Amino acid sequence: MAGPLNSMKILDFSTLLPGPYATMLLADMGAEVLRVEAPDRVDLTRVMPPHDAGVSTAHGFLNRGKQSLGLNLKKEGSKEKVLELVKGYDIVIEQFRPGVMDRLGIGYETLKAINPRLIYCAITGYGQTGPYKDRAGHDINYLSLSGVSSHCGREKSGPPPMGIQIADVAGGSHHAVMGILAAVIHRQQTGEGQFVDISMTDAAFALNGMAGAACLAGGQEQKPETSLLNGGSFYDYYQTQDSRWLSVGSLEPQFAARLCDILELAEMKGLALSQKPEDQAKFKAALSEKIQQKTLEQWQSVFSDVDACVEPVLTIDEAAEHPQLKARDMVIGVDRGDGTLQRQIGFPIKFEKTPAATTLIGQPLLGK
């Protein structure tokens, strides 16, 4: 069955991670995506190691299910090709700095004049307005300027370099998809297209959630290891005997009680539920000492049938083999183009009537 977005046609001018991740999600949901790439300026994800069967694994994943067109937008005739293409596509996604598409002669106003129903989404670090709109940046910069980094990590060691690109994906990619789909609904109701301006810094700032609410409305500036969820309580990670890690999230009274009973710390239930920093510090020290007495595998066995919000910190390879993720089809086989399958992360949203699917891993650049 076709995915829920099988009527959408997208021209994708983006590179690297935020835009391609967004259009991958849309392609998985059935949208027809055509990537417009410069053949003389290779997208770094096409060459980024490691490789599988000669194809970058990043490119194979991010650009699965898409078609590609090699087109140097600065060369004569390219503008005309795009102007012709946009007649048959209803969504454009780009990731250039503000004004670049206008200088190329294919900016929003030009394309809208040809296709008034066009939804045009621009993903940038800082948005289309403001003093930073032309400034370069990366995920780590957006997280820093948005305040996210200030209350993550440890008090002594400071903010950590994240293992995933939070501002790029949770900020840029996911908000782009939300914005585009909201604009699609508006177009269905009015017949009008529109410009969707996605700032990864804005989106990262919005991700502060509860910490932002506490600061802006409650006057409490958040710092590392000072709140319930960032290390200021026993809600934390603990090292095991074999130098692995166990996550403990037993915040609610019933879960904290079970945790204390399992670890033979029944006398400390009061400390676990206390909001005093000194009580939390004592309980965390006791937890740390207990958890260091067994290996991760032993703790997994101990908590396997205990509903206490305690889980192992798994590697990606281990997570891929976990029965819960396997039951949810979160690892799939995608055709390399020759009938053999590459293992990839599956689509995370499950539709009853229109399941998501993908056809091929990201393919070589065609149509130069």
Mean pLDDT over 134-140 rounds to 97
pLDDT at 367: 54
Q: pLDDT tens across 235-285, in order?
A: 999 999 999 999 999 999 999 999 999 999 999 999 999 999 999 999 999
Count of CB atoms situated within 10 Å of the CB of 316: 8
Mean pLDDT over 1-19 rounds to 93
Number of domains in the chain: 2
Q: pLDDT tens across 297-317, in order?
A: 999 999 999 999 999 999 999
pLDDT at 366: 63
The full DSSP string for 168-216 is IIIIIIHHHHHHHHHHHHHHHHHS--EEEEEEHHHHHHHTTHHHHHHHH
Selecting among 52, 138, 197, 322, the annotated active-site residue is: 138
- Asked if 121 and 268 sit in the same domain, the reply is no
Q: Is the pLDDT of residue 116 over 60?
A: yes
- Asked if 258 and 188 sit in the same domain, the reply is no
- Asked if 203 and 286 sit in the same domain, the reply is no
- Asked if 307 and 339 sit in the same domain, the reply is no
- Asked if 200 and 108 sit in the same domain, the reply is yes
- Asked if 297 and 193 sit in the same domain, the reply is no
Q: Which domain holds residue 299?
A: 245-312
- Is the pTM value of this prediction over 0.75? yes
> Residue 358 domain-assigned?
no
- Asked if 152 and 276 sit in the same domain, the reply is no
| Residue 85, CA distances (Å) to 28, 46, 106, 175, 326 in order | 22, 24, 11, 25, 40
> Residue 62 domain-assigned?
yes
Q: pLDDT tens across 187-240, in order?
A: 999 999 999 999 999 999 999 999 999 999 999 999 999 999 999 999 999 999
> Domain with 334 in it: what CATH number?
3.40.50.10540
Q: Which amino acid is at 263?
A: L
> Residue 105 domain-assigned?
yes
Question: Which pLDDT band, with edges at 50, 70 and 90, does 363 fall under?
Answer: confident
> Residue 59 domain-assigned?
yes
> Residue 237 domain-assigned?
no
Q: Is the pLDDT of residue 173 over 50?
A: yes
Q: pLDDT tens across 45-97, in order?
A: 999 999 999 899 999 999 999 999 999 999 999 999 999 999 999 999 999 99
- Asked if 130 and 273 sit in the same domain, the reply is no
Q: Give yes or no: 138 in active site.
A: yes
Q: Is the pLDDT of residue 368 over 50?
A: no
pLDDT at 190: 97
> Residue 272 domain-assigned?
yes
- Of the candidates 99, 87, 224, the residue with the CA atom closest to the CA atom of residue 153: 224
Q: Is 72 exposed, middle or buried (0-12, 13-18, 19+ CB in 10 A)?
A: middle
- Asked if 304 and 338 sit in the same domain, the reply is no
Mean pLDDT over 106-132 rounds to 98
- Asked if 50 and 188 sit in the same domain, the reply is yes
Buried b / exposed e along 123-158 (16+ C-beta atoms within 10 A): bbbbbeeeebeeeebebebbbbbbbbbbbbbeeeee
Task: Sort strands 91-94 and 9-12 into parallel, antiparallel or unpaired.
Answer: parallel
Q: Give yes or no: 28 in active site.
A: no
250 vs 211: CA distance, rounded Å: 20
Question: What is the overall mean pLDDT for the chain?
Answer: 95
343 vs 347: CA distance, rounded Å: 13
- Asked if 29 and 126 sit in the same domain, the reply is yes
Count of CB atoms situated within 10 Å of the CB of 275: 9
Rounded (10°) angle between helices 18-28 and 174-190: 60
> Residue 368 domain-assigned?
no
Selecting among 28, 90, 168, 202, the annotated active-site residue is: 168
- Of the candidates 233, 277, 269, 229, the residue with the CA atom closest to the CA atom of residue 253: 269
- Asked if 160 and 256 sit in the same domain, the reply is no
> Residue 103 domain-assigned?
yes
